[in-house]
Amino acid sequence: MQTSIILADDHHVIREGLRLLLDRERDFLVMAEADSGVAALSAVKKFNPDLVIMDVSMPELNGMEATRKIISEVPGTKVLALSMHSDKRFVEGMFQAGVSGYILKNCIARELVSAIRLVAKGQVYISPKIAGTIVEGYLSRVVPENETGRNTNRKNLTDREREILQLISEGLNTKEIAGKLQLSSKTVDAHRRNIMDKVGLHSIAELTKFAIREGITNL
């Protein structure tokens, strides 16, 4: 039985390399490719695959937010994160979003193939190169977050607010965001004010720096 797969990465050369690799495996079927989080969600809804190989940093809707939407709207689909980032905020963010595995892009081919097969069977795969990051994240939660000095405001943002924050940081204005998300300009402005109040920042430049630091965008 074949595992149906969608490849989500904003770099064409990465998707092409993945497709060439996976097409060699008889039990894999690549159904579609996506170059953004929005395109990935649309492809999942259209093809209902078994698994999505998801990059973390993508335009319009990053891998974390795309994963949240996929898990929520198409719960039968599993997500395997494939990323160049080994930072704790990216690894934890993707697992909190609902991925079933996390693997680095510099992995060898047979590791990726094994990870796909394990995740497709309902297991969790963590690349050995980031195992220490997972343990560190677990241990850090033993200390209350308000005692670590770490900014926790990101956790107070809603899914919609994180989505709008990414678009703001990517240079879209209110009218453009409203059109893309099919919202009114007043609603977008209200979300922006709420975001600024929650994170304690009051300029686009500050919001952009915050979004980059928290892994919401990768500008």
pTM: 0.71
pLDDT digits (tens, 9 = 90+) for 38-71: 999 999 999 999 999 999 988 889 999 999 999 9
| Domains in the chain: boundaries | 3-139, 151-213
Token couple for 127: 């690349």
Q: How many CB atoms lie within 10 A of CB 55?
A: 27
Cα separation, 133 vs 190, in Å, equals: 36
The 10s digit of each residue's pLDDT in 79-110 is 999 999 888 888 888 988 999 999 999 888 89
Once rounded to an integer, what is the mean pLDDT over residues 172-190?
Answer: 92
**pLDDT band per the 50, 70, 90 thresholds, residue 219:** low
Kindly indicate the confidence band of residue 208, based on its pLDDT and cuts at 50, 70 and 90. confident
Amino acid at 204: I
How much is the average pLDDT of 4-19? 96
CATH architecture of 151-213: Orthogonal Bundle (1.10)
Considering the segment(s) 3-139 as one domain, its CATH architecture is 3-Layer(aba) Sandwich (3.40)
- Residue 164: CA count within 13 A, CB half-sphere: 27
- 3-139 and 151-213 have identical folds: no
Single out the residue of 100, 89, 201 nearest to residue 155, CA to CA.
Answer: 89
Please give the span between the terminal C-alpha atoms of the chain, in angstroms, as a whole number: 40
Return the bridge partners of 52, or none: 6, 79
Strands (E), the chain: 3-8, 28-34, 51-54, 78-83, 101-104, 125-126
Comparing C-alpha atoms, which of 59, 54, 69, 49 is closest to residue 159? 69
Say yes or no to pLDDT of 164 above 50: yes
